[in-house]
Amino acid sequence: MAEPTTHREITLTDLQQLIRRMYLEKDVARGIDGTFMWLMEEVGELASSLRSGTHEERSAEFADVLAWLATIANVAGVDLNAAVMQKYGSGCPGCGRLVCTCPDAGKP
């Protein structure tokens, strides 16, 4: 039986390490292509919950998408924290500002 969880903060690094500890062997055996397909399935479930789900369902689907993103990053050898800091740590990658001033028509 699982231990009860208490509310605490979790960093992106903590999440990726947690997922690595729980699932790495299975994830590596599945490979990037298989893992990517699971991620896409979860993104689809998130889309459905955003259209017609409850707050609780949406929360669970967001958690699933993050977990599968961490999973595929582990399989691909990507440190999510480092990747996010490199791309977004100094502000918007488009305009370079902390509060984005890029035109709405394009990314970001």
pLDDT tens digits for 35-70? 999 999 999 999 999 999 999 999 999 999 999 999
Rounded to whole angstroms, the Cα distance separating 80 from 62 reads 17
Q: How confident is the model at residue 6 (pLDDT cuts 50, 70, 90)?
A: low
Rounded to whole angstroms, the Cα distance separating 93 from 88 reads 6
Cis peptide before 108 (omega within 30 of 0): yes
Amino acid symbol at 23? Y
pLDDT of residue 4: 58
Helices 12-52, 80-88: axis angle to 10 degrees equals: 80
Residue identified by tokens 């990053």 is 73
Residue 87 DSSP class: H
Rounded to whole angstroms, the Cα distance separating 85 from 79 reads 10
Homologous superfamily of 12-77: MazG-like (1.10.287.1080)
Q: What is the mean pLDDT of the chain?
A: 93
pLDDT of residue 31: 96
pLDDT of residue 104: 87
Residue 90 DSSP class: T
Percent of the chain's residues with pLDDT above 70: 92
What's the average model confidence in pLDDT over 73-101? 96
What's the average model confidence in pLDDT over 94-105? 91
Residue 7 DSSP class: -
Rounded to whole angstroms, the Cα distance separating 90 from 85 reads 8
pLDDT of residue 8: 85
